[in-house]
Amino acid sequence: MPAGIPLDPDEAAVMADPRFGSAIRLFNQGQWYACHDGFEELWHETQGPCRPVLQGILQLAVSQLHLERGNRHGASVLMGEGIGRLRRCSPDSLGLDLRTLLSTAALHWQALQSGITTPADGLPPLRITAADRLSDG
């Protein structure tokens, strides 16, 4: 988010919550189930505009869990839902680089839809674009 534009209070609260930083770390480590739990807790407690961002990220995480377990259909459905939800959000919501996440997720989703093997590198890490506004938690 550009400097000088105030954060939505709900977004600021999520970004300051230590569980947010923990969920990001788990996502980046490929610990899909654990990161889903972290994002889901925050999602249940959030009513503001960042709620769909949290849900979209957790859907992408669960899609990866389905993929690891061999459930390509479940992975495809959840990845598509997560992509659709995140596309309607600001590309820097919650201080994250959602643009990179979305572009890679879209390539994976196309591969899943066409039956092609998904890229081995998986989803990119969640990159924080506003690190100075996040708790170390």
> Would you say residue 119 lies in a domain?
yes
> Would you say residue 134 lies in a domain?
no
Kindly report the pTM of this predicted structure.
0.88
Tell me the sheet residues that pair with 96.
128
Query: Could you list the residue range(s) of the whole structural domain that residue 43 is in?
Result: 10-129
> Would you say residue 25 lies in a domain?
yes
pLDDT of residue 64: 94
pLDDT of residue 6: 65
- Tens of pLDDT along the chain (137 residues) come to 445 566 788 899 999 999 999 999 999 999 999 999 999 999 999 988 899 999 999 999 999 999 999 999 999 999 999 999 999 999 999 999 999 999 999 998 998 889 877 666 788 999 988 654 444 44
The number of folded domains in the chain is: 1
Provide the CATH number for the domain around residue 114: 1.10.3450.10
pLDDT of residue 134: 44
Q: How far apart are CA 122 and CA 82, in angstroms?
A: 15
